[in-house]
A and B are shown apart, each in its own frame.
Chain A
Amino acid sequence: MPDNETITLELFRYHPETDSEPRFQSYEVPYDEDWVVLDAINWIKDYVDGSVTHRWSCRMGVCGSCGMMVNGEPKLTCAAFLKNYYPFPIKVEPLVNFPVERDLVVDMEGFMDKLQDVKPYIIRDDVNDTSQGEYRQSPAELAQYKQYSMCINCMLCYAACPVVGHEDEFLGPAALALGHRYNKDSRDQGQSERLEVMLSSEAMWGCTFVGECSVVCPKHVDPAGAIQQAKAMGAQEYFKRFVMPKGAGATKGAGA
């Protein structure tokens, strides 16, 4: 293709100080087949319109900052290549299911609260001193939760989830997968109190294994699978209450 080829980006624009309604603004961007959508947005900001507002940092798919809707699909814009859209225009919007702060930036405070709600840290009754060395964890035990520890908090799954869209209180795919990650960790003993939070909301049961979250996940975390497993664990936990003294069923043996 000729060197002066361009591609059109239609960016969602909204400024809370001046706009009552969002609008779209088109920009012609030099086409480079090595560029990702994020490169094109950065080029616009650098050389055409410094007021375009978006988040980004690592440009290698691991910091989780640059998730946006690209032609209606939740994507990491650092991993969405222009060549996959060329020569057609690319429409870029903020992630849906979140309030918009400005342009392509969404308000993620609610998301941060949900992460905290699931108690995403090791909970133990007996904490070893570091002088006792590491907790033993076999590769098989590691494999139990490894997949669920790969979440980069990019929030694409929230943009894809039909339940998140209409149930504010739903903890959502990433937070539930994170809670499940700790529940499946052989070093952890907090499953009981964590499940209590994870399963407390009615909305959790509204997740019908549509699985859109797992489809859009750029890191193959499979939050849908985690949620189904968590539900099963919750059911077991519920029945254990009738046959075991409180707490006895909740702890797992963790090697020292």
Chain B
Amino acid sequence: MSRVKEFNLPDLGEGLTEGEILAWLVKVGDDIELNQPIVEVETAKAAVEIPAKWAGRVQAIFHPEGSTVEVGVPIIAIDTDPNAGPLEQSTTGAPAEALPTPSAASLAAVEVAPAEGMVEPGLIGGAAPGGRTAVLVGYGPRNAPAKRRARKGDVPAQATAAPVAPVPAPAPIAPAPAMNGNGRVTGPVLAKPPVRKLAKDLGVDLATLTGSGPLGSITREDVQRAASGTPAAAEPLTVAAPAASVASFGADREQRIPVKGVRKLTAENMARSAFTAPHVTEFLTVDVTRSMKALDRLRDRREWRDVRVSPLLLVAKAVLLAVERHPMVNSTWAGDEIVVKEYVNLGIAAATERGLIVPNIKDAGRLSLRELADAMTALVQTAKSGRTSPADMSGGTLTITNVGVFGVDTGTPILPPGESAILAFGAVREQPWVHKGKVKPRLVTTLGLSFDHRIVDGELGSKFLRDVGDFLADPEAALLAWT
């Protein structure tokens, strides 16, 4: 065994076929100990740290953070005897960024597994969403091509295995599939074992047939037809299109990003909401100078000294108080009835590294201002660290989206599914404003409220938005008047 050992990504769950490199905890040149955590990998089941299998020095790292790696592919090379002098191949000093490719031997030829008998979707063993196979518990494995050993006497397989590219590189002109004399694609032949046996018994060479079954697999009928001499039904041959010779507005200048994870969920939710709930959006521009001053006074109080106080806190308070005055905005359209909720699970849209998520503060209406502040701080910190649990994100009843942090004035937000109102809170800017009969520089913001017109009419939506604005214009007076 060579002193440099390559570590292949193992199957970290039961039946997983890939994992995403979240973070490398070591870098090329580091000396590492046995069982020292070296990399954080996220699979469909869990994010876990992998401990080093050998002590030694990191010789190479094959995949950058963020890449998805198939199980069985080398991810790191470790020199298990770094003090024994230079390596035979002078690869020392290779920069980490170079991402050398793993040894050729580790990239075995891949033969596509024959399509087995179809199972109905949803049944165990059948197709499940996301190209997975349904299993008894948890997420099933993806349907990846199986690796198989070659049988004795097989024609050597074509070099079908391309090196695993860490980044989608500009696609070189794909080598056209090799054609045999009949103009048919050569390579692995798809056929079920009983069909193979039938072909063998009837003396039919499977490689000369064109399959009519799923994925081009050869069926029993194909074999019998060949054996009886009947020509197969005429079919068009698809030939790879000739490569474009001039750089154009084509695939070489487009980037394709797989839709998955948070992006996929967001897309599904937004599309569903936008095309089921009739949205109306109203705007209100408010002078929030008094609110900002009230916040400053709050920060100065001893008991609030260590609390994170933001304008969003007052917006949240304003929304909660306005909901008490107009409970219908805190409701769900349930087909033949409207569910009005006495509790407010207040959603706060958060932009995180993994995308948009909307965790909510449970029963926020019952919290004091101080408790609300603490809950919002905790919610944001949890979201930023990527530790928001599914429970934190479900059951929201009304949402605030703070688009002001991106420096824009307001927006027309789309309702989270199942909610009837969402408030966009724009940037707070100093602007000329008529105050007590004179134009003065005042702190002004614009609120945008979208609501579900099936439940909330223009009058109710306007009253609700007006109340939120009134509170922000003069929080002390609103508190005295309403509570």
Chain B binds chain A: no
Question: Residues of A with Cβ closer than 8 Å to B?
Answer: none
Question: Residues of B with Cβ closer than 8 Å to A?
Answer: none
